[in-house]
Chains A and B, each alone.
Chain A
Amino acid sequence: MTGLPARDDGPAEAPTEGLTRTEITRRRSAELFGELRGDIASEAARTHARDALVHLHLPLVEHCARRFRNRGEPFEDLVQVGTIGLIKSIDRFDTERGVEFSTYATPTIIGEIKRYFRDKGWAIRVPRRLQELRMQIGSATAELTQTLGRSPTPRELAEAIGCSVEEIVEGLESSNAYSTLSLDATDDSDDGGSSMLDAIGIDDEGLEHVEIRESIKPLLEKLPPREKKILLLRFFKNMTQSQIAAEIGVSQMHVSRLLNRTLEQLRSSLESAEPE
């Protein structure tokens, strides 16, 4: 992210030429959008206008971010993600629609900050260093899985990231503290409830004991579609977590968490279903 421009929103700045600060900003904003969208402007002029728009509206981002202070995330981080929302708004804003840019941008900026909280929500406060390491491990795992054709070892990860194997182990442990909250929210949905179970009837070579399927079938039915899919892919199609991750479009760590949680749920339901 580029450095923040000097703050100029102090109360000391008096309205010039009878205009309020808001009006000045609005006017400037309209000019810049004119340059950005204008047909005649050169690429350089457009880039400049876009940058200027970002800078002009940064106080708006800070204003939005301030509403989320005291929720455990550094203010600067919130400004950063909020700025992403701002940039998206600038790129998507339709000047023809007669809406003020700030009206249009605010929900996008807040949405981006909320998404950050949702995605980065940790069940337990994990030191920042470990959170960063975990993210590095996540992306290095994805890359190495691609190049190696299998999931990497901690040593390979350590070499790729430039840290020790111990740190990788620590990072992996910390990922177990990550919240699984609201993971069901975005299900990719193509398959309805029964189709997956119907599907395993065809190619379930891994499943030798039919009676097992009968006993867990009612439990499987109760699982959310994605959990069910992951479980079936893992145990009945014998895919690795990385393969499942690629198939479903989430990270391997995510698959791991879902799988662990689902097994835990199944185990406790089986135990309560048949007490000894």
Chain B
Amino acid sequence: MSVTSQSSGERTDRAEVELRVPADSAYASVLRTTTAGLAARLDFTIDDIEDLRIAVGEANAMVLEHADAGSDLLCRFHLAPGRMVVSVSVAAATQPVPDLDSFAWQVLTTLASEADISTADGRFAIEMTMTSSAAGF
């Protein structure tokens, strides 16, 4: 895992975290736990954190279905105060057609402030934006 501060001089108010794990559902809990841990430090509320945990789990399940065998799952977190953009992606040679009617997607779009699916460049990616519901953001 790597954490990079965009503005190295001052205190981080924006950071990137990347997590690469084998494309295997056994790692879903690692993703969920990491997400929760990061969100807790960005002043998300307990409810938000639980939502994030579920959303990432669903996104994970959606992309894994189409992952190339033996490939990795890449999870990127863009962190800002009270805001987190999570992108979960896998290499998918099959050019999958995202199922926007699926229950998982329904759950995900309910939980995230914004959610987007893309299938460009041989990758199947889901990007979600979550905003903290604590006052001030």
Contacts and interface: CB of A to CB of B under 8 A. Distances in A.
B110 A263 contact: no
A89 interface: no
Given A153-B134, A172-B49, A235 B106 contact: yes
A216 B132 CA distance: 30
B101 A209 contact: yes
A206 B110 contact: yes
A172 B40 contact: yes
B106 A209 contact: yes
Interface string A89-119: 0000000000000000000000000000000
Contacts of B47: 150-151, 240-242, 252
Interface centre among B40, B58, B104 (most CB of A within 10 A): B40
B46 A263 contact: no
A235 B108 CA distance: 10
A172 B104 CA distance: 24
A211 interface: yes
B54 A266 contact: no
Contact of A252 (B46, B61, B103, B107): B46
Interface in B57-77: 57-58, 61, 65
Interface in A139-198: 141, 150-157, 165, 168-169, 172-173
B36 A173 contact: yes
A100 to B, nearest CB: 49
A169 B53 CA distance: 13
A212 B41 CA distance: 35
B40 A154 contact: yes
A238 B104 contact: no
Interface size bracket, B side: 20 to 34
A12 B107 CA distance: 68
B33 interface: yes
Contact of B103 (A141, A156, A216): A216
Interface string B122-137: 0000000000111100
B5 interface: no
Interface centre among A154, A155, A169, A270 (most CB of B within 10 A): A154
Interface in B8-25: none
21 contacts: A150-B133, A151-B48, A152-B46, A153-B40, A153-B46, A153-B132, A154-B43, A154-B46, A172-B46, A173-B33, A211-B101, A212-B106, A234-B110, A235-B107, A240-B47, A240-B133, A241-B50, A241-B51, A252-B47, A259-B50, A260-B57
Given A151-B47, A260-B54, A267-B58, 18 more contacts: A141-B46, A153-B132, A154-B46, A155-B43, A165-B41, A168-B40, A169-B36, A169-B41, A172-B40, A211-B101, A240-B47, A241-B51, A252-B46, A252-B47, A252-B50, A267-B103, A267-B104, A276-B65
Nearest 9 interchain pairs by C-beta: A151-B47, A151-B45, A154-B40, A151-B46, A153-B43, A169-B40, A240-B47, A256-B50, A241-B47
Interface of A: 141, 150-157, 165, 168-169, 172-173, 206-207, 209, 211-212, 215-216, 234-235, 238, 240-242, 252, 256, 259-260, 263, 266-267, 270, 276
